[in-house]
Amino acid sequence: TCDWLTAALGAGQVDGFSFERIGTGQMSECYRVSLSYAAEEGGPASVVLKVAATDPSSRQTGLALGLYEREVRFYTDIAPALVPGPVAPCYHAAIDTQTGAFDLLLGDAVPALVGDEIRGATAEQA
Per-residue pLDDT of the chain (126 residues; tens, 9 = 90+): 999 999 999 989 999 999 999 987 788 999 999 999 998 888 999 999 999 999 999 999 999 999 999 999 999 999 999 878 788 999 999 999 888 899 999 999 887 776 777 788 888 876
In sequence order, the 6+-apart residues with CB closer than 8 A to the CB of 99 are 63
Beta-carbon-side half-sphere exposure of residue 49 (alpha carbons within 13 Å): 21
**Spacing of C-alpha 55 from chain mean position:** 18
pLDDT at site 68: 95
Amino acid making up residue 72: V
pLDDT at site 123: 83
**Do the Cβ atoms of 72 and 96 come closer than 8 Å?**
no
In sequence order, the 6+-apart residues with CB closer than 8 A to the CB of 77 are none
Domains of the chain: 2-107 (3.30.200.20)
Helix (H) or strand (E) holding 33, with range, is strand 28-37
Determine what percent of the chain falls in helix, strand and coil, rounding each to the nearest 5: 25, 30, 45
pLDDT at site 1: 93
Helix (H) or strand (E) holding 90, with range, is strand 90-95
* pTM for this predicted structure: 0.86
**Do the Cβ atoms of 88 and 106 come closer than 8 Å?**
yes
